[in-house]
Amino acid sequence: MYRPELSRFQYTRKHGKRRTYDVTLNVVQKESGVCAYAAWVQFGAEFKGSGLMLPLVARTQDDAVQEARILIQNDIDHLIGIVE
C-alpha cells in the first residue's frame, strides 16, 4: 500500500527576482520502502513548474520529505524545471 504525505510550504529564491514561491509536495512511500515525490511550484496563480523529480535515497518517509524539500528548493534556486 502507498503511504502519501502531502505538504505545502513557501520558498524564496536566493537569486534573480527573489520571488517567494508556493510549493506543494507529495511524497509517497511504496510497499517496497522506496520513496518518490512530485512537486508543483506556483507564483501567484501561475504554475511555474515541477522541478526535476529525481529518485530519493531516504528510507523513511520523514527523511524522504526533507530530501525532496531540499531537492525542489535547489531546483527553484537554479531554475531547473522552473520558469521565473
The model's pLDDT over 35-84, given as tens digits with 9 standing for 90+, comes to: 999 999 999 999 999 987 778 999 888 999 999 999 999 999 999 999 98
Q: Quick check: 52 and 81 in contact, CB under 8 A?
A: yes
Write out the three cell numbers for 9: 510550504
Q: Alpha carbon 78 to chain centroid distance?
A: 14
Q: Quick check: 54 and 32 in contact, CB under 8 A?
A: no
Indicate the pTM of the whole model: 0.89
Q: Is 84 contained in some domain?
A: no
Distance CA 76, CA 61 (A): 22
Q: Is 16 contained in some domain?
A: yes
Number of domains in the chain: 1
Task: Show the domain range for 22.
Answer: 3-77
